[in-house]
Amino acid sequence: VQLVESGGGLVQAGGSLRLSCAASGGTSSNYNMGWFRQAPGKERAFVAGISWSGGSTDYVDSVKGRFTISRDSAKNTVSLQMNNLKPEDTAVYYCAADRKILTSLTRMTPDYWGRGTQVTVSS
């Protein structure tokens, strides 16, 4: 499975961005999907996840109420709508796919990763 992210960029605090991830080369519609981020000097961390059916979503506490993950299985895409962005959201954002049955989306350990897209939020 190949994952390609798009939609990153530079935005002022309080602004919005929409990230997209296009999946190809496999049955990604059967996979749980997620977004992770890695800020400079920090480990890559879970941001948001969505189940294979789209029926369940979960988020890290710091983005709840501001970020929304969604998927279009017919188009094999996953999106992350990010509103009210803060400087601490600055990071490289990675799309990820997990083939495993999960009891919790927050415990996702992806089998596939995209190359990432930079999001920079200025104060």
Given this model, what pLDDT does residue 29 score?
A: 79
CA–CA gap between residue 26 and residue 51 (Å, rounded): 17
Segment 38-95, tens digit of pLDDT: 999 999 999 999 999 989 999 999 999 999 999 998 999 999 999 999 999 999 999 9
The residue-averaged pLDDT of 115-122 equals 98
Instruction: Find the angle CA(16)-CA(98)-CA(46) to the nearest 5 degrees.
Output: 40
- Chain-centroid distance of CA 37 in Å reads 8
**Segment 86-110 mean pLDDT:** 95
Whether 106 contacts 46, CB under 8 Å: yes
- Residue 86: per-residue pLDDT: 98
User: What's residue 27's pLDDT?
Assistant: 77
Which pLDDT tens digit goes with each residue over 9-18? 999 999 999 9
Cβ 82 vs Cβ 91: under 8 Å = no
What one-character-per-residue DSSP string does 34-99 give?
A: EEEEE-TTS--EEEEEE-TTS--EEE-GGGTTTEEEEEETTTTEEEEEE-S--GGG-EEEEEEEE-
* pLDDT for 10: 98
Q: Is the pLDDT of residue 23 over 90?
A: yes
